[in-house]
């Protein structure tokens, strides 16, 4: 199966919980998964071609903004050609806000504009993942796998 990089940010642990679910689901589907955090790991855009797929996990902050640690990555992506890379974006947000999960949309638009093949769904989870969200994570991992297969990244 494919080599998948998951890069995520989480302040209060919700996006981290979603990351753990996706990591398990992808491993069960036979992928080789590397998990990095925007807080503590170096995520160099030059290394993205080493992977078949990239998942970005981000919470939303301050009226629809990226967390600072994710913003740097967003800026680094400027001008990078992501043609051939399968990408998906997910995260926890709070439906109390009009700007529900806007950072997820901003990141997904950016990756798409750089030529990535996107998992169509933007996986927004309201605060902490529940049982129904666990199913959504499985479906998201399944959609990513299908895209990798149809774009012939993996057998």
Ligand X SMILES: Cc1cc2nc3c(=O)[nH]c(=O)nc-3n(C[C@H](O)[C@H](O)[C@H](O)COP(=O)(O)O)c2cc1C
Q: Which helix (H) or strand (E) holds 35?
A: strand 32-37
CB of 132 to ligand X, least distance (A): 16
User: What's phi and psi for 58, nearest 5 deg?
Assistant: -145, 140
Q: What are the residue ranges of helices labelled H in 49-101? A: 68-76
CA dihedral (51, 10, 118, 144) positive or negative: positive
Give the residue with the Cβ less far from ligand X, 58 or 145.
58
Give the residue with the Cβ less far from ligand X, 11 or 130.
11
CB of 125 to ligand X, least distance (A): 8
d(CA 27, CA 111): 24
Give the residue with the Cβ less far from ligand X, 99 or 151.
99
CB of 22 to ligand X, least distance (A): 13
d(CA 29, CA 21): 12
d(CA 53, CA 30): 13
CB of 46 to ligand X, least distance (A): 27
Give the residue with the Cβ less far from ligand X, 93 or 114.
93
Which spans of this chain sit near ligand X (rule: CB under 6 A)? 10-15, 59-64, 92-94, 97, 99-102, 127
């Amino acid at each position: 199966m494919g080599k998948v990089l998951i890069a995520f940010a989480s302040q209060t642990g919700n996006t981290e919980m979603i990351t753990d679910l996706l990591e398990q689901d992808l491993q069960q589907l036979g992928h080789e998964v590397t998990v990095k955090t925007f807080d503590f790991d170096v995520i160099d855009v030059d290394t993205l071609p080493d992977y078949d797929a990239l998942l970005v996990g981000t919470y939303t902050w301050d009226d629809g903004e990226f967390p600072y640690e994710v913003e740097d990555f967003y800026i680094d992506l400027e001008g990078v050609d992501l043609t051939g890379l399968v990408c998906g974006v997910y995260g926890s947000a709070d439906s109390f806000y009009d700007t529900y999960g806007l950072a997820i949309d901003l990141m997904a638009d950016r990756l798409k504009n750089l030529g990535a093949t996107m998992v169509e769904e933007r996986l927004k989870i309201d605060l902490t993942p529940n049982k129904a969200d666990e199913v959504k994570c499985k479906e998201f991992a399944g959609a990513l796998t299908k895209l990798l297969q149809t774009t012939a990244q993996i057998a």
